[in-house]
């Protein structure tokens, strides 16, 4: 059994060990050492990375037998090996994990919100709270308390206790294991059973910042957060974006949201005007097309193609055309591919779905619709074929 040294020491990143076994794990090389500081994915925390004898360690897994498998991307010789853990990743995980304990406890202290589950991802951490809702004021209070604990630079202690001793600790949640239980204490603030890697002083976390929250299944609220280096990077990114927007919009930071709202409202009004004018233009266009339509018995047949109309424009025009009596129309456009809409007036007794099936069988493409209104299309290179076949099928039906 591998000696799991990460339980007692999160800071050693260079060490020697002996290879005791090499396994094949689904085609990957899995190295078992006599001892290791490499942390395996467990308890919502991501695994360490690094190297063994210069060969990359890309994953670390604890199997059902309690063995720690170091997944490497190359051959490892038997005997003694030099191991090195990626400190940047390890320290970030330590910051996130201890930060999560403090954040969860802060939610509990202030609002009695229990953390149901947590996950520490490569970019952000999340906790799922038994909370119906959150707001900025509550989150602000929690952040203030959590960061107060961080800046007080409290000791973070590791306790190994037996089942009979657990009751002596005011645990935030019950342990999931029995026997020897590892408890992480953030001095006089939080006590949690945990097998992860942690900082030894809360001040090493630097900063805890909630990024966002949302409602999820089960009546829970998921809170996304970052700590330490990740919090700094998040602030750097947002500050860059904020400064760029402030410069572009010529406003102060405090006026940014208000200015964006104004721009969106103006854009919304402009879009309403564009939509109105588009409708009017389509009405005028439809009138001219019907006036100049081909005649098949008593039916007005309209066929026209465009270079720049999108699918929505085609639908609007088709609907305007079939407001006139005795109209069958096909309108197409090369904008974004080969796109077509075929439509008929309510007083023309043909099933456009049957015609569409014939078109697709002969020319290919995909489409669908109703008895009086169908839409289809395909690759732009086949535009002319689609158009030609469609017109032929429609005219044959109208004759």
For the segment 63-114, what is each residue's pLDDT rounded down to a tens digit?
Answer: 988 899 999 999 999 999 999 999 999 999 999 999 999 999 999 999 999 9
For residue 66, what pLDDT is reported? 86
Question: Nearest Cα to 94, choosing from 224, 187, 189, 230?
Answer: 230
Residue 293, pLDDT > 90, answer: yes
For residue 116, what pLDDT is reported? 96
For residue 132, what pLDDT is reported? 87
Query: Which residues partner with 373 through β-bridges?
Result: 343, 370
For residue 1, what pLDDT is reported? 79
Residue 156, H or E segment:
strand 156-161
Which of 3.30.470.10, 3.30.980.10, 3.90.550.10, 3.40.50.1100 would CATH assign to domain 91-244?
Answer: 3.30.980.10
Instruction: Say if CB 302 and CB 387 are below 8 A apart.
Output: no
Residue 19, pLDDT > 90, answer: yes
Cα gap 338→332, rounded to integer Å: 7
Instruction: Say if CB 124 and CB 100 are below 8 A apart.
Output: no
- Residue of 203 and 336 predicted with greater confidence: 203
Other C-beta atoms closer than 10 Å to the C-beta of 74 total 11
- In angstroms, what CA-CA distances link 108 with 103, 131, 167? 9, 11, 19
Q: Where are the domains of the chain?
A: 3-85, 91-244, 274-398
Cα gap 166→145, rounded to integer Å: 27
Q: Which residues lie closer than 8 Å to 130 by C-beta, 6 or more apart? A: 113, 114, 116, 219, 220
Q: For residue 192, what pLDDT band results from cuts at 50, 70 and 90?
A: very high
For residue 43, what pLDDT is reported? 84
Which DSSP letter does residue 42 get? B
- Over the chain, what is the mean pLDDT? 95
For the segment 297-350, what is each residue's pLDDT rounded down to a tens digit?
Answer: 899 999 999 999 999 999 999 999 999 999 999 999 999 999 999 999 999 999
pLDDT (average), residues 8-16 = 97
Residue 392, pLDDT > 80, answer: yes
Cβ-defined contacts of 48-56 (< 8 Å, 24+)? 48/85, 48/86, 48/89, 48/90, 48/93, 49/85, 49/86, 49/89, 50/13, 50/83, 50/84, 50/85, 50/86, 51/83, 51/84, 52/76, 52/81, 52/82, 52/83, 53/77, 53/81, 53/82, 54/82
Residue 288, H or E segment:
helix 256-291
Residue 399, pLDDT > 80, answer: no
Which of 3.40.50.150, 3.30.70.20, 3.10.310.40, 3.30.830.10 would CATH assign to domain 274-398?
Answer: 3.10.310.40
Residue 31, H or E segment:
strand 28-33
- In angstroms, what CA-CA distances link 283 with 292, 303, 313, 345? 14, 16, 12, 15
Other C-beta atoms closer than 10 Å to the C-beta of 76 total 19
Give percent of the chain with pLDDT exceeding 70.
100
pLDDT (average), residues 2-28 = 95
Q: What angle is formed at CA 107 by the lines to CA 103 and CA 113, rounded to 5 degrees?
A: 135
Q: Which CATH architecture has domain 3-85?
A: Beta Barrel (2.40)
Six-digit token pair at 157? 């202690």
Counting Cα atoms < 13 Å in the Cβ hemisphere of 78 gives 4
Other C-beta atoms closer than 10 Å to the C-beta of 153 total 13
Six-digit token pair at 158? 């590791």
Q: What angle is formed at CA 84 by the lines to CA 79 and CA 89, rounded to 5 degrees?
A: 145
For the segment 142-186, what is each residue's pLDDT rounded down to a tens digit?
Answer: 999 999 999 999 999 999 999 989 999 999 998 988 899 999 999
């Amino acid at each position: 059994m591998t000696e799991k040294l990460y339980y007692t020491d999160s800071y050693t990143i260079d060490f020697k060990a002996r290879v005791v076994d090499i396994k094949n794990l689904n085609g990957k090389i899995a190295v078992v050492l006599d001892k290791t500081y490499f942390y395996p994915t467990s308890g919502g925390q991501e695994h360490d990375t690094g190297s063994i004898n210069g060969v990359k360690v890309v994953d670390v897994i604890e199997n059902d037998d309690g063995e720690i498998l170091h997944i490497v991307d190359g051959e490892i010789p038997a005997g003694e090996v030099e191991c090195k853990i990626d400190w940047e990743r390890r320290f970030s995980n330590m910051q996130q994990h201890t930060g999560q304990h403090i954040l969860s406890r802060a939610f509990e202290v202030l609002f009695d919100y229990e953390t149901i589950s947590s996950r520490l991802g490569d970019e952000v951490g999340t906790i799922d709270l038994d909370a119906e809702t959150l707001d900025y004021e509550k989150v602000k209070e929690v952040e203030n308390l959590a960061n107060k604990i961080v800046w007080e630079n409290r000791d973070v202690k590791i306790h190994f206790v037996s089942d009979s001793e657990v009751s002596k600790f005011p645990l935030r949640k019950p342990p999931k294991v029995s026997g020897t239980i590892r408890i992480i204490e953030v001095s006089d603030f939080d006590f949690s059973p945990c097998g992860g890697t942690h900082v030894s002083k809360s001040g090493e976390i630097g900063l805890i910042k909630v990024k966002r929250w949302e409602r999820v299944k089960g009546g829970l609220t998921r809170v996304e957060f970052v700590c330490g280096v990740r919090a700094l990077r998040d602030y750097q990114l947002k500050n860059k974006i904020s400064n760029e927007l402030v410069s572009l919009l010529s406003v102060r930071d405090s006026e940014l949201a208000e200015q964006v709202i104004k721009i969106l409202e103006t854009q919304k009004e402009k879009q309403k005007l564009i939509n109105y004018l588009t409708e009017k233009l389509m009405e005028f266009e439809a009138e001219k097309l019907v006036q100049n339509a081909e005649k098949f018995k008593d039916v007005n047949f309209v066929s026209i193609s465009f270079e720049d109309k999108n699918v929505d424009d085609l639908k609007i025009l088709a609907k305007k055309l079939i407001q006139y009596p005795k109209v069958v129309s096909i309108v197409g456009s090369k904008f974004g591919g080969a796109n077509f809409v075929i439509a008929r007036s309510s007083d023309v007794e043909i099933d456009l779905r049957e015609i569409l099936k014939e078109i697709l069988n002969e020319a290919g493409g995909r489409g669908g619709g109703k008895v009086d209104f169908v839409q289809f299309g395909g690759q732009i290179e086949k535009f002319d074929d689609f158009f030609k076949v469609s017109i032929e099928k429609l005219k044959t039906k109208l004759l």
